[in-house]
């Protein structure tokens, strides 16, 4: 939890009109447990606080576990913030279809709804949400960077929307996540994803197709003398199996695993059943054998 600061001032919000009037901006972040929503919310609020804004950050979740909706309430103000509770959000940032219901009641026609258009079909959003901003973050992260960087793409975009200096925000990313970047290359890749989000122009219509879908149950595959099993309930989308496959038979598919990141799919024609994917997967989420 970040403290509410009653001292610092900033003109940062002066260009941003609140739906509720005045300079107070009410924001909701929503996604699933395991997606890193609380992490990017902490980074965002910390950067806003260090930029001189008054900040309130109230995470809210029921059963704290992966795959359940998770919501965080944020209020920013450039004058003393006295009462952070709100009924209508100025901005809703929603990253998984299973979290839409949890935020619907806070959306008015004036609410700007920023959503991952590659995982959420815009038709699922409440009818009151008429100001839509689609960012196909999961699709871009998976095809250009790494699946788990989708939330950095969103964070980069939000930095632009709220006039936060990107270098300051990324220094907060490094403070909280730096140790998780296992190499300089990984750090550079995630930084690139963040700045790509910063430069992104959102979709206002003609939204991307929401091709990435949460998957329940095992994925069973069979053919070309092999059979295999991939368990989305265990797969964290780390990509180790893809990197270790000697014949490039694995790639990320469109089914989402336990962290709402894509799980691998296998091309059984290419696969030589070497066992590398099973042996290297840290979560025992994949196995392919000869039959
Ligand atoms: S068994 Fe070997 S060849 Fe087949 S997908 Fe796994 S790593 Fe690739
Ligand atoms: S199957 Fe295992 S190694 Fe492959 S992406 Fe999922 S968790 Fe990582």
Closest ligand to Cα 230: 2
Q: What is the mean pLDDT of the chain?
A: 88
| Same-domain pairing of 164 and 229 | no
pLDDT at position 124 is 92
Atom 2 of ligand 2: nearest residue by CA position: 281
Closest ligand to Cα 275: 1
Give the chain's residues under pLDDT 50.
Answer: 1-15
| Same-domain pairing of 119 and 58 | yes
Do residues 113 and 130 make contact, with C-beta atoms less than 8 angstroms apart? Answer: no
Closest ligand to Cα 250: 1
Query: CA torsion angle for 173, 175, 180, 181 (degrees, to 10)?
Result: 60
Atom 7 of ligand 2: nearest residue by CA position: 235
Instruction: Find out whether the beta carbon of 36 lies less than 6 Å from any atom of ligand 2.
Output: no
Which of 238, 253, 278 to mutate for ligand 2's pocket (most ligand atoms within 8 Å of CB)? 238
Last residue of a domain, one of 139, 163, 198: 198
In a domain, 211, yes or no: no
In a domain, 209, yes or no: no
| Same-domain pairing of 234 and 126 | no
Instruction: Find out whether the beta carbon of 250 lies less than 6 Å from any atom of ligand 1.
Output: yes
Distance 223 CA to ligand 1 centre (A): 14
Write out pLDDT tens, residues 249-264: 999 999 999 888 899 9
Atom 6 of ligand 1: nearest residue by CA position: 277
List helix spans (H) across 179-237. Answer: 184-198
Domain range for 265: 219-290
What's 271's domain CATH number?
A: 3.30.70.20
Distance 273 CA to ligand 2 centre (A): 16
Output DSSP code: residue 122.
Answer: G
Rounded CA separation 272/226 (Å)? 9
pLDDT at position 2 is 34
Q: How many domains does the chain have?
A: 2
Which of 219, 249, 291 to mutate for ligand 1's pocket (most ligand atoms within 8 Å of CB)? 249
Question: If you search the block for the tokens 């840290």, which residue do you land on?
Answer: 282
Atom 3 of ligand 2: nearest residue by CA position: 281
């Amino acid at each position: 939890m970040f403290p509410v600061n009653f001292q610092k001032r900033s003109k940062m919000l002066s260009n941003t009109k609140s739906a509720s009037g005045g300079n107070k901006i009410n924001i909701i972040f929503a996604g699933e447990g395991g997606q890193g929503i609380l992490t990017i919310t902490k980074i965002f609020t910390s950067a806003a606080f260090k930029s001189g804004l008054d900040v309130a950050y109230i995470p809210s979740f029921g059963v704290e576990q992966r795959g359940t909706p998770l919501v965080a309430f944020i209020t920013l103000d450039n004058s003393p913030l006295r009462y952070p509770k709100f009924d209508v959000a100025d901005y809703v940032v929603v990253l998984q279809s299973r979290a839409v219901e949890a935020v619907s009641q806070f959306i008015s026609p004036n609410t700007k709804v920023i959503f991952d258009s590659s995982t959420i079909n815009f038709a699922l959003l409440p009818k009151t949400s008429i100001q839509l901003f689609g960012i196909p973050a999961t699709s871009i992260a998976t095809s250009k960077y790494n699946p788990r960087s989708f939330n950095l793409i969103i964070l980069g975009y939000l930095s632009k929307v709220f006039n936060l200096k990107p270098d300051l925000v990324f220094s907060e990313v490094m403070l909280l996540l730096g140790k998780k970047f296992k190499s300089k290359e990984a750090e550079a890749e995630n930084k690139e994803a963040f700045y790509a989000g910063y430069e992104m122009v959102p979709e206002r219509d003609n939204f991307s197709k929401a091709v990435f879908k949460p998957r329940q149950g095992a994925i069973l595959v069979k053919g070309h003398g092999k059979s295999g099993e991939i368990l989305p309930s265990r797969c964290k989308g780390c990509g180790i199996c893809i990197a270790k496959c000697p014949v490039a038979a694995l790639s990320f598919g469109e089914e989402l695993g336990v962290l709402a990141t894509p799980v691998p799919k296998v091309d059984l024609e290419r696969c030589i059943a070497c066992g590398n994917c099973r042996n290297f997967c840290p979560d025992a989420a994949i196995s392919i054998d000869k039959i």
